[in-house]
Structure 1
């Protein structure tokens, strides 16, 4: 009888994991998976960030035109965008911050006019602008940065 009791006791100790231990492992695994998913980059966010950055740059260009009392132009092409200011009947590149030329990150494209290689927005010293719609896309979605004649800049999702 003593031998049988020892055999039952050793089998009871070697049964495996308890339910509490399994639940603890599942909770830890779920938390680790959540952290990994949250740190993955969101490609859709990239396009929104670029559209917001372009809109901000256009507003800086408008402010510069008003403050300097000179026309400022933002030129957008397939590679990115750059700034110029009119000075003594010619256009001079603006290179200082926040007007340094910007490149589009991989995957972001701009939709240019048919047959065109670039488009531009000019702000005059009153803040008025040449109206323009600048379409940015990443192959999955598209956003538009819209500049109206009054120089108001906004980011829109395209109409479907």
Structure 2
């Protein structure tokens, strides 16, 4: 009998299937293992001590090759996927800010149209034969406000 972590299955098995063998799927095995390791580490955290610093030059592995770990602030490590996504985003916006059409951006950067469109804000659409919007008080005074 393959079951998940529900208690109802565990309680019903001896009554309905007394000879059945319980089997867990891979996901729940890993989940149970991770939770058990997390609890074990949390319980024994006080048992851990700081490593003694070996200053002898006889052991080359003990010689530190840089500043101490406490001196360097930790920065989050960013993967290649995130780096490429940021570069693509910047490239799309660089072209978009120059009023390049989405179709040209797609061909230039070899992107899917949906991928390029999700990285750009929607442009307001105006019919080509529609008259230009009338000047407002704000638009006429914009030079003086900036």
Which range, TM-score by smaller chain? under 0.3
**Larger strand fraction of residues:** 1
Question: Could you tell me the TM-score, scaled by structure 1's length?
Answer: 0.25
Structure with higher Rg: it is 2
Bigger RCO of structures 1 and 2 (CA < 8 A, at least 6 apart) = 1
Name the TM-score, length of structure 2 as normaliser. Answer: 0.27
